[in-house]
């Protein structure tokens, strides 16, 4: 057990971290480029992002309404 801790201790647990700001920016980017898929829905549900937050980040009303189908 000690060897395993030493071996894995030098690696970071996560190489990337998702922040709320990054997720909102990614969702707005995908809305603008019409690449809305199941992953976008999962991100919205995971972080509990509201429609108001998306419009404040730069999404248009039409783009946000298109999420209603998801």
**Tens-digit pLDDT profile for residues 13-28:** 545 688 899 999 999 9
| Cα–Cα distance, 42 to 70 (Å, whole number) | 10
24 class by beta-carbon count within 10 Å (0-12 exposed, 13-18 middle, 19+ buried): buried
Joined together, the tokens standing for residue 65 give 């309404």
What's the CA gap between 34 and 4, in Å, rounded?
A: 45
Asked if residues 40 and 9 have their Cβ atoms less than 8 Å apart, the reply is no
Summary mean pLDDT of the chain: 81
Name the pTM for this structure. 0.70
């Amino acid at each position: 057990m000690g060897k395993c801790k030493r071996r894995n201790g030098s690696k970071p647990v996560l190489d990337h971290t998702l922040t709320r700001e990054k997720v909102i920016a990614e969702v707005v980017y995908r809305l603008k480029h019409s690449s809305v898929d199941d992953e976008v829905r999962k991100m919205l549900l995971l972080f509990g992002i509201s429609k108001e937050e998306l419009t404040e980040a730069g999404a248009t009303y039409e783009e946000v309404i298109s999420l209603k189908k998801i």
